[in-house]
Amino acid sequence: MSTLPSPIPDFCPELGIEIPVSDIDKELRKLWEQDEASTNASLMNLVVFSEKPNSLIENSGIIRELTREHACRAILVEIDSAAEPHIRAWITAHCHLAEGKKSVCCEQISFYLTGRVTGRFRNTVFAHLNSDLPLVFWWQGELSDILTERLVSVIDRLIIDSSSWANPAASFRMIEENSQFNDDLIIQDHAWTRSFQFRIGIASLFDDPTAKTALPGIHMVEITYHPDHRNSALQILAWLATQAKWNDCECADGFAYRSNSGVVISTILRADPASAPLSSLVLRAEAATVQVTYEIGASHLQKQVEAGSYKATSLSPADPTSPAELVGLQLARGGKNSLYQKILPRFRAMLD
Amino acid sequence: MSNPFREDLVSRSPAEPCSIVIFGATGDLTHRKLIPALYNLAVDGELPTGVKIIGFARRQKSDIEFREGLELLNRQVSRSGQDDKIWGNFIQSVTYHTSEFDDVAGYKSLAEKLDALDAEHGGKGNRLYYIASAPEFFDVILIHLKNAGLNEAKPGCWARVIVEKPFGTDLATAKHLNQVVNETFQENDTYRIDHYLGKETAQNLMVLRFANAIFEPLWNSKYISHIQITCAENLGMEGGRGGYYDGAGALRDMVQNHLLQLLSLVAMEPPTDLSADGVRDEKVKVIRSLRQWDTPEKVAANVVRGQYTAGNIDGNAVPGYREEDRVAPKSDTEAYVAVRLLIDTWRWSGVPFYIRMGKRLPKKSTEISVHFKDAPCVLFNTPNAGAPGGNVLVIRIQPDEGISLRMVSKIPGTSLRLEPVKMDFHYATSFGKGSPEAYERLLLDAIAGDATLFARRDEVEEAWKFIDHIEHAWHQSDTPPPMAEFVAGSWGPREADQLLQQDGNQWRRL
């Protein structure tokens, strides 16, 4: 079917049946008519957009995992702007046994677009959305001029990974500029989701009366992170400062704060190439030390409060690392992601 | 001082570290439900750091023996399986305390143990007592807790109690138990558990009604013909349960608590807020507004009780109720009950609610069905047009939790023929992730001090008041309404069908 050289082979079982774009709806109907035993389930339109070569096949694998828990119509798009204008399309379905008995299936449409694609891309995606279902748009990699105001205006939830951006400050400005007419846009950042269990862990440790009493006396925050995940470290620092109502101050090297009770809080951000995205968060006060740590490969975080001879430790789930797990967690939590919106100004100020 | 890191992170009250004392710790409930629920909370990182669990029971056991028994069952029943590392960490927080329930010294040593645990681990002193023993020990446990001063929270701390069902066997015993409980704990520290309210679909009832604009305008006597609540079980008295059941019966075992709770959620007015008392204020109004069947004649006209005779379930022969293990051969306990209820409020005036609960019915299913009135008798609904019934909204509680809506549609073709079609939402299909067990949610709520999903004193007493009239008519009147019979594996006695037919209705076929 392809007329131009393409990195995707003519027979590509991972993407399903290759069909003319104009036949997508007809072929999808046929797909369901062939198998009456399966249930077609969908709670959202999930568009996965990438300009990385060969991303379609990789993303199809991710969708296969994701649809075990999140029924959706998946629309995968790979763009190659440098090639001659052309479009190829495939359809398939990912089926899983729900509760070990019923076969629940989710549709997937894949597009490979080449050439200058801004308008074609938008129209192609819009034409194949399931009506009435929310549009979750997962933008992989650097932003580009394909992210326009018109595109953002129809997106309900935009999933990004700010850790993958060369210039996060500029990229956040671009989203801000293009989303000014979409007040309801929910932004979900993998960099933020990677610290979810760390934040839950810290929050639960401060339910402990010993830790809670020590909170006003915190004078040091230490975060160890992988160099590729500095944004996760900065976001968790922005979260701590925002929630504890620490004020920025220039009273120490690096990022420093002053608490309402006047205590100066110093920070140590330690980049370690051998670390997980986040491997440790330690809050030190005179009376106690509160810490959450993670060892690469472990299934759980270690949480600990220590004050003199008192020591309470516990385990909690580790943060997800794979893209499918990260998106799965973001979709499972749903909501407005208001905490991220709350810390975003402080985090962006750290980027400048 | 509040915990600022909790703000905006999770949408429920924070759960604080505490010591949980389970009375009746060697029982089935502890092994099959409570410990697996607490373990799964730990797996999900929801169990607060520093929670200690103390099993209190009469049997002599060491901590190690107790833990081994818990592990054996947890491996079999835990919904998330068992991760040895988490289990190893979790089980370290579990200890065993041997004592008779009426032994003063046992409670004194419990108090010392709790204080020692707090001193050792820096616990603040929060206490949650879970009374999971046999009901005859409820009183004595509560009284001894009070005498030992364990009911009183230390400054800045809390002491709460969870009481399992059955909460009394009639109004008098429920009132007595409430009095004992409230002499020991404040009402807002008392959590009367009804695990039906912890089920996902039960929680979704309020969301369905009050978060969707399309249902509430129709949710009244103008548009609704009647509502049915069915709890069908295909099991009988296996596993020795006849001993308990023959003393309780379907009405007291299921209707007084679970089914009237579901009824109150379906029929309540919108609460002013989602606080525990905001919701429970509205629920209790429903129970209080039930028209009372307070004479044997009214009971005979509105309630049907029944027992099954020998029959077949899933192709297997099963005995009749009176032939079941540990059931009296001349038992007059009902294994089936159908009740016609009327709620005397503006919203529900003239709308019958039908509740049925039965053992040895063809299949296991609990659901609420809302039957809407027929469209006007013109166009497609003239008597000769053959429109196949009205719209029905079904809320399935278990199994296969979900919601479906039946509507009428034209069959494709040149002639005008109408058939019912169904729009169906299944939790398991739409949300691949399984729901937590009801006990997980309820235990976490109790630790967090959220009593929304627990029954309040007045709810329990109002429900018993309604039930007592029926029990009195059955067991204490000179002219008791008869006991109907049905063949095991059928959908209940003919008299129950007639109960609806007199209103021009019929039971929904499940």
Is the CB of residue B250 less than 8 Å from the CB of residue B334? yes
| CATH for B109 | 3.40.50.720
Other residues' Cβ atoms within 10 Å of the Cβ of residue A208: 28
Total structural domains within chain B: 2
Q: Which residue among B5, B44, B433 sits closest to A203, beta carbon to beta carbon?
A: B5
What is the rounded (10 degree) CA torsion for A326, A200, B443, A330? -20
Pairing of strands B365-372, B392-398: antiparallel
Q: What is the mean pLDDT of residues A94-111?
A: 83
pLDDT at A1 over 50: no
* Shared-domain flag, residues B103 and B201: no
Q: Rounded to 5 degrees, what are φ and ψ at B243?
A: -60, -50
Q: Look at B49 and A299 and tell me if their CB atoms are within 8 Å.
A: no
DSSP B507: P
pLDDT of residue B128: 97
Beta strands across the sheet bearing B127-131? B94-98, B52-57, B19-23, B127-131, B159-163, B190-192
* pLDDT (average), residues A92-115: 85
Residue B320, pLDDT > 90, answer yes
Amino acid B386: pLDDT: 60
The 3-state secondary structure of B379-435 reads HHHCCCCCCCCCCEEEEEEECCCEEEEEEEEECCCCCCCEEEEEEEEEHHHHECCCC
297-316 in chain A: CB under 8 A from chain B: 299-301, 303, 305, 307, 310, 312-316
User: Is residue A4 pLDDT above 70, yes or no?
Assistant: no
CATH 3.40.50 location in chain A: 17-190
Residue B449 within any structural domain of the chain: no
Is B219 in the same domain as B131? no
Q: Strand B19-23 to strand A310-317: parallel, antiparallel, or no bridges (unpaired)?
A: unpaired
Contact (Cβ atoms closer than 8 angstroms) between residue B172 and residue B465: no
CB-based burial of residue B17 (10 Å sphere; 0-12 exposed, 13-18 middle, 19+ buried)?
A: buried
Interface with chain B: mutation pick from A106, A207, A299, A343, highest number of B CBs within 10 Å: A207
Q: Which residues pair with A269 in a beta bridge?
A: A223
How far is B166 from B189, CA to CA, in rounded Å? 19
pLDDT band, very low/low/confident/very high, at A263 (cuts 50, 70, 90): very high
Residue type, B509: R
Q: Confidence band (pLDDT; 50, 70, 90) for B346?
A: very high
CB B321 within 8 A of CB B308: yes
**pLDDT reading at A6 higher than 70:** no
Q: Could you confirm whether B371 is annotated as catalytic?
A: no
Q: Which residue in the list B258, B371, B426, B475 is annotated as catalytic?
A: B258
pLDDT of A5 above 70: no
| Enclosing domain of residue B327 | 197-435+456-501
Q: What is the distance between the alpha carbons of residues A307 and B501, in angstroms, rounded to a whole number?
A: 71
B35 plus B132 within the same structural domain: yes
**Architecture of the domain made up of A17-190:** 3-Layer(aba) Sandwich (3.40)
Q: Report ipTM for this prediction.
A: 0.86
**Banded model confidence at residue A157, pLDDT cuts 50, 70, 90:** very high
Percentage of chain A exceeding pLDDT 90: 60
As a whole number of angstroms, the distance between CA A186 and CA A337 comes to 7
How many other β-carbons are positioned within 10 Å of the β-carbon of residue B82?
Answer: 16
Same domain, B232 and B353: yes
The verdict on B34 and B142 lying in the same domain is yes
Amino acid at B266: V
Please answer whether residues A47 and A135 qualify as being in contact, where contact means their C-beta atoms are separated by less than 8 angstroms. Answer: yes
Residue B430 at interface with chain A, using a CB cutoff of 8 Å = yes
What distance in Å separates the CA atoms of residue A179 and residue A152, rounded to the nearest whole number?
Answer: 6
Residues in chain A closer than 8 A to B1 (CB atoms): 212, 215
From B41's Cα to the closest Cα of chain A, the distance in A is 10
Q: What average pLDDT does range A255-261 have in this prediction?
A: 92
Sequence-ordered alpha helix ranges (H) in chain A: 24-34, 55-66, 118-127, 149-152, 168-178, 190-193, 196-205, 209-214, 230-243, 323-333, 338-351
Report yes or no on B225 lying in a domain.
Answer: yes
- Same domain? B223 vs B301: yes
What average pLDDT does range B422-439 have in this prediction?
78
CB-based burial of residue B396 (10 Å sphere; 0-12 exposed, 13-18 middle, 19+ buried)? buried
Q: For residue B421, is pLDDT > 70?
A: yes
**Using 50, 70 and 90 to split pLDDT, how confident is the model at A172?**
very high
CA distance B15 to chain A (A): 8
Global pTM value: 0.82
Among A246, A303, A314, A336, the strongest candidate for a mutation testing the B interface, having the largest count of B CBs within 10 A, is A314
pLDDT tens digits, residue range A182-194?
A: 888 999 999 999 9
Number of CB pairs, chain A paired with chain B, less than 8 A apart:
116
Q: B208 vs A333, which has greater pLDDT?
A: B208
Q: Do B6 and A240 touch (CB under 8 A)?
A: no
Of A216-225, B111-120, B217-226, B432-441, the least confident: B432-441
pLDDT in tens, B218-276: 999 999 999 999 999 999 998 888 988 999 999 999 999 999 999 999 999 999 998 89
Rounded CA Rg of chain B: 24
* Nearest-by-Cβ selection for A212 from B1, B9, B83: B1
Q: What is the pLDDT of residue B388?
A: 65
What Cα–Cα distance (Å) separates residue B397 from each residue in A178, A198, B366, B438, B442?
44, 35, 5, 12, 17
Over residues B66-70, mean pLDDT: 96
The average pLDDT across A3-20 equals: 79
Residue of A nearest to B89 (CA): A314
Distance CA A199, CA A222 (A): 14
The secondary structure of A35-69, three-state, reads CCCCEECCCCEEEEEECCCCHHHHHHHHHHHHCCC
DSSP designation for B153: P
Between A39 and A199, residue with greater pLDDT: A199
Rounded to whole angstroms, the Cα distance separating B261 from B279 reads 12
* CB-count burial class (<10 Å; 0-12, 13-18, 19+) for A227: exposed
What is the average pLDDT across B121-138?
Answer: 88
| Residue B191 covered by a domain | no
Q: A2 falls in which pLDDT band (50, 70, 90)?
A: very low
CB-based contact A276:A298 (threshold 8 Å): no
Mean pLDDT score of chain B: 91
Partner A contacted by B329 (CB < 8 A): no
B422 touches chain A (CB under 8 A): no
Is residue B176 included in any domain, yes or no? Answer: no
- How far A40 CA sits from the closest chain B CA (Å)? 9
Residue A26: predicted pLDDT: 86
In which band, very low, low, confident or very high, does the pLDDT at A33 lie, cut at 50, 70 and 90?
confident
The answer on B147 and B229 residing in a single domain is no
Q: Give the C-alpha separation, A231 to A109, whole Å.
A: 33
Q: Are A12 and A88 in contact (CB under 8 A)?
A: no
Q: What is the DSSP letter of A75?
A: E
Helices then strands, each counted (H, E), chain B: 17, 17
Confidence band for A37, pLDDT divided at 50, 70 and 90: low
Classified by CATH at the fold level, domain A195-319 comes out as Dihydrodipicolinate Reductase; domain 2 (3.30.360)
Say if B450 falls within a structural domain: no
CATH of the domain at B260: 3.30.360.10
Give B11's pLDDT tier (boundaries 50, 70, 90). Answer: low
Which residue type sits at B443? L
Q: Give the β-pairing of A73-80 and A157-160.
A: unpaired
Query: Residue A44 has which token pair?
Result: 């959202």
Does the pLDDT value for residue A60 go beyond 90? yes
pLDDT of residue A231: 96
The phi and psi torsions of B452 (rounded to 5 degrees) equal -55, -40
Check whether residue B100 and residue B214 sit in a common domain. Answer: no
Instruction: Classify residue B184: in a domain, yes or no.
Output: no
- pLDDT recorded at residue B371: 96
Clarify whether residues B126 and B227 are in a common domain. no
CA distance B342 to B351: 7
- Using the predicted structure, report yes or no on whether residue A102 has a pLDDT greater than 90: no
| pLDDT, tens only, B132-169 | 998 889 999 999 999 999 999 988 899 999 999 888 99
* pLDDT at residue B328 tops 90: yes
pLDDT at B240: 82
Alpha carbon distance B459, B61 (integer Å): 39
Summarised one tens digit per residue, pLDDT across range A83-95 is: 888 899 999 999 8
Mean pLDDT value of segment A158-167 = 96
A 58-77: CB under 8 A from B: 67-71
> Residue B45's closest chain A neighbor by CA?
A316
- B204 shares a domain with B147: no
> Which A-chain residues 120-149 have CB contacts (< 8 A) with chain B?
none
Residues in chain B within 8 Å Cβ distance of A317: 43-45
- Strands B94-98, B52-57: pairing is parallel
For chain A, give every residue range classified as CATH 3.30.360.10.
195-319
Task: Tell me: do B266 and B342 sit in the same domain.
Answer: yes
| CA dist., res. A47 & res. A152, Å (int) | 12
Q: Are residues B410 and B467 in the same domain?
A: yes
DSSP one-letter code for B376:
P
Instruction: Give the rounded distance of the alpha carbon of B363 from its chain centre.
Output: 19
